[in-house]
Structure 1
Amino acid sequence: MFKLHEVWKSIDEHKMVVYFCFEDLTTKKFGVQSLEGFGLSDSGDRNSDARKQAIELFIEESPLERCLWGDTLEDAIAKFDDFMSK
């Protein structure tokens, strides 16, 4: 079983991102499943679409396979950011 954590990060005065993270309740480790960006001009449907995508990703592939795992949320986010920057 997993617990969902949404971690919000401000990019600038007009943009932010949300990391959709999971905590593995067995191992107590954290992993980032996906990242979604939002801006002031986004419609209200954008949030619903992001949540729907997070659910679809969870169903399609176990977070155990999809995520890079860390001991803390910050560690998992750093690993995810590093992986995505390559």
Structure 2
Amino acid sequence: MPIFKRISDQQLAEYICLYSLETKQYAVLCTNFYSLTSSNEDHAYFKKLTVELLLEESPLSRCKWFSSIQKAIEQHDLDFS
């Protein structure tokens, strides 16, 4: 599920969040960044990368899982800032 965060009036972050039906927990797979100059090709590329990440390794082992989306996003920001 995409969650969007406005970074500035020129940039937007899209968190690709996952929910495990088994564990009832949330994770962030990746974050895509968009700007006013982002093209349709950029959008298609981000989608392709997201699918590759999902297929490359199970999200259950790739991601850190949390009880809320907010906690998952906060940890993802800490891990990748």
The normalised TM-score by structure 2 is: 0.94
Larger proportion of strand: 1
Which ranges of structure 1 fall in alignment gaps of 5 or more residues? none
Equivalent residue pairs, number: 81
Runs of 4+, deviation exceeding 2 Å: none
- Name the TM-score, length of structure 1 as normaliser: 0.89
Matched, 1:11 2:7: yes
Output the aligned Cα RMSD: 0.8
**Equivalent position amino acid for 1:71 in 2:** S
Residue ranges of structure 2 left out of the alignment (5+ in a row)? none
Equivalents in 2 of 1:25, 1:45: separation in Å? Answer: 32
